[in-house]
Amino acid sequence: MNFYKKIKNSAVRNINPKYLELISKRGIVLSKIPKHSSTVTSDLFLYRIENNWSTFFELLNVNRLIDNDNLNHKIFEVEIIFFNNSGDLVERFEIKNIRDIKHRININEITNHLNIKHDGTFAVIHKNPPIWLKDYDCFLSERGYTGYENNFYGPIKSYVHGNLDAIYKESRGDIKQLGNFSFLKKKYFVQHRLLTRYSYDFYWVNPTNRKQKLIIEELSESNTIITRIQMEPRGLYKYSYKRNSNKTDSVIKIQSRLYMARPIVFKYMENSFDVFHG
């Protein structure tokens, strides 16, 4: 690691990111650096199980993909941690002795088993990450692929990748949030135009350790609809846009202290749906 990177890394570790931002916008760091080198991080992935939705997770043996010389990584195990939409930890579930390099997890089977009834989020924590990652000051991160399916639309899954570095698990087992936020209000515009012939659901997750207030503005030529919400740490919020031919096309703007209030978007068409990062 070069000298500049070492200085930056040290500053990010030791100075509150909010102060770094005051020095320079280039100093903005979206996620914290965990203290321990063997820490594993994960996105908070949305699971949908209500209203005939099914959720699948394409679990990869990332240890083996990273460290293919090490025979210890031929079999792997993960812990899946479920949270409700208020951010409370609901259940933990371990999958051991996975021999496949990829394992499709049916999240509904697990939530049924754990008697979880409502949509929420889950994290995937891999065990025994490659030791040499610490030589590069890197942490193993799960940003995998979640597939959504609804019988109403047929058997095809629509996938979205993770990229919200949301939580990490400490060696004692505590779960901590990774997301940084600002002193200053930020605006995020979803660069996608909502068409009046379709309906949409937007999902936001709070990856920080503080409650976050969001002002969601649905902006069209004819009017502006403002919704104010609060999200608990690790909490989930859903905002719905209903198709209406009397409306004009809209865009969504979010004001918050999050650097990137980026939602997952579900778009519903006549006989199909699509999911993507906003």
**Alpha-carbon gap, residue 127 to 169, rounded angstroms:** 11
Nearer to another protein, 49 or 140 (CB): 140
139 lies in the binding site for another protein (CB under 8 A): yes
**Alpha-carbon gap, residue 229 to 82, rounded angstroms:** 22
274 lies in the binding site for another protein (CB under 8 A): yes
95 lies in the binding site for another protein (CB under 8 A): no
Judged by CB under 8 A, which of 158, 196, 199, 220 binds another protein? 158
Q: Which two tokens stand for residue 252?
A: 């969504």
**Alpha-carbon gap, residue 173 to 175, rounded angstroms:** 6
Residues pairing with 61 in the sheet? none
Of 80, 79, 77, whose CA–CA distance to 55 is shortest?
A: 80
Q: Which two tokens stand for residue 8?
A: 């930056």
**Alpha-carbon gap, residue 93 to 114, rounded angstroms:** 9
Judged by CB under 8 A, which of 60, 110, 167, 231 binds another protein? 60
Query: H or E element: which one contains 175?
Result: strand 175-177
Of 64, 139, 67, 138, whose CA–CA distance to 103 is shortest?
A: 64
125 lies in the binding site for another protein (CB under 8 A): no
165 and 259 Cβ atoms separated by less than 8 Å: no
Candidates 45-53, 54-62, 81-89, 114-122 — which segment interacts with another protein by CB under 8 A?
Answer: 54-62
Please list, in sequence order, all residues whose beta carbon lies within 8 angstroms of the beta carbon of residue 117, skipping any fewer than 6 positions away: 49, 50, 111
Q: How far is the CB of 84 from another protein (least distance, A)?
A: 25
Nearer to another protein, 85 or 208 (CB): 208
Q: Write out the binding residues for another protein, residues 214-243 only, by CB under 8 A.
A: none
Residues pairing with 237 in the sheet? 204
Nearer to another protein, 81 or 140 (CB): 140
Q: Write out the binding residues for another protein, residues 62-91 only, by CB under 8 A.
A: 62, 64-66, 68-69
Judged by CB under 8 A, which of 163, 224, 227, 240 binds another protein? 163
Judged by CB under 8 A, which of 188, 200, 202, 237 binds another protein? 188
Candidates 88-96, 228-236, 239-247, 270-278 — which segment interacts with another protein by CB under 8 A?
Answer: 270-278
Judged by CB under 8 A, which of 103, 176, 213, 238 binds another protein? 103
Give the contact letters, 9-48, x = binds to another protein (CB under 8 A), - = no. x---------------x--x-xx-x-------x-------
277 lies in the binding site for another protein (CB under 8 A): yes
Judged by CB under 8 A, which of 19, 189, 223, 242 binds another protein? 189
Q: Are strands 45-47 and 120-126 parallel, antiparallel or unpaired?
A: antiparallel
| Number of Cβ within a 10 Å radius of residue 223 | 10
How big is the chain by its Cα radius of gyration, in Å? 20
Coil vs helix vs strand at 67: coil
Instruction: Please give the residue ranges that form the binding site for another protein (CB under 8 A).
Output: 1, 5, 9, 25, 28, 30-31, 33, 41, 58, 60, 62, 64-66, 68-69, 100-104, 133, 136-141, 143-145, 147, 153-161, 163, 165, 184, 186-193, 251, 259-260, 262, 267, 269-274, 276-278
